[in-house]
Structure 1
């Protein structure tokens, strides 16, 4: 469970999160929505322990994501909106993911193939030099192979063409299990068949939180 209590995050005089309280539980497939600057990304980064709260608390399965960051991140699969500048080749990246998170390389390759990413043809290419769509497909493949209790996707289809988007949502449906899924998105129509909850944020606050 993700338990957020009276969470405030301030950067200088700007309040990015304003006394946010919510719980996201197992089997909550949640769309996190709101305009740019609403606080969505700050909330995600607080959940993952990237940001220290100005006040309030975040706990993931009872653990503080800052004090117990390694253990918390072991339970989370995350795909960011902007792929990180990883200089490793795909082969090196998969070996690193396997060594650091015990993710099966064959599983990564399976999901990459399902996303129509030909890993074998790009095995020795730098992740950094791939197209935006290829990077996103690789990150999605890793996230699905990790088989985590919590998956967080921040605008995961932003760099994908329509066919790749269909493949992504098909894989999510095919891999439904008891877990927490959190989608930061502007495209509720795309995920309406996947999510069962919608949280809408604006100006650092939760404006609405509804089961759908």
Structure 2
């Protein structure tokens, strides 16, 4: 479903991705690990079509994430490490997601409730002004409600308390079917019961790739 072929990405003289080739397929739940600067975020942003490679290419279900970005992003749910500065209130955000991505509003409400985020009490609050934990819960609820066959989480539990982390992983286990689930994480202990593949990057290269 995701094919990365000989991908190189440079920023000035710095090589962030160095001739990386890798594939991710259905029913793989992957921990992508490595130190800061290893190239993990650059790889994810290349998959999402944010970056133009210096050489090589990325294919998502046979589509180019740069040339066919709208179609590709329609198939992907992505929760970044740092929540975006969205100025909409939660009600407006839900309406926007419902209209732009054909996501069921009631399903967003359901997953928010499962994450113990009281949406009804906060519908008129700006997303931007919510606590880090509330923002993360909202983004997770949207990612699950979208029912994508590719879900990418970049340090998804960084702002979550232990109870919310447990809720998050419980919901993921309930939705483990016919998808790619990709975690960018420094917390292997948290995801080791979910993932079946562990990839380690360093200096822009894949240094290990293990089925577990």
Scaled to the shorter chain, the TM-score interval is over 0.9
Q: Give the 5 Å matches for 1:25-44.
A: 25-44=25-44
Kindly tell me the number of residue pairs found equivalent between the two proteins. Answer: 212
Give the TM-score, by structure 1 length: 1.00
In structure 1, how many angstroms separate the alpha carbons of the residues matched to 2:158 and 2:171? 17
Tell me the CA shift for residue 80 of structure 1.
0.3
SS at match of 2:15: strand
Superposed CA offset, 1:139-167 (max 9, x none): 00000000001000000000001110000
Secondary structure of residue in 1 paired with 2:138: helix
3-state SS of paired residue (1:156) = coil
- Work out the CA distance in 1 between the residues paired with 2:21 and 2:193: 26
Q: What secondary structure sits across from 1:133 in the alignment? A: helix
Q: Are 2:27 and 2:176, in contact at CA under 8 Å, matched by a contact in 1?
A: no
1:21 aligns with 2:35: no
Q: In 1, Cα distance between the equivalents of 2:199 and 2:63?
A: 23
The answer for the alignment partner of 2:125 in structure 1 is 125
2:48 corresponds to: 48
Give the Cα–Cα distance (whole angstroms) in 1 for the partners of residues 141 and 177 of structure 2. 17
Q: CA offsets, 1:49-102, max 9 Å, x none?
A: 000011001000010000000000000000000000000000000000000000
In structure 1, distance between residues paired with 2:78 and 2:115 = 17
Q: 5 Å matches for 1:65-84? A: 65-84=65-84
Q: Does 1:139 align with 2:106?
A: no
Alignment of 1:133-172 (within 5 A): 133-172=133-172
Counterparts of 1:173 and 1:193, CA distance in 2: 9
Please give the alpha-carbon distance, in whole angstroms, between the structure 2 residues aligned to 1:199 and 1:176: 19
Matched residues in 1 for 2:101 and 2:71: separation?
11
Report the TM-score, using the length of structure 2 for normalisation.
1.00
Aligned-residue CA RMSD (Å): 0.4
1:203 & 1:65 partners in 2: Cα distance? Answer: 24
Stretches of 4+ aligned residues off by more than 6 angstroms: none
- What is the DSSP-based 3-state SS (H/G/I as helix, E as strand, rest coil) of the residue aligned with 2:9? strand
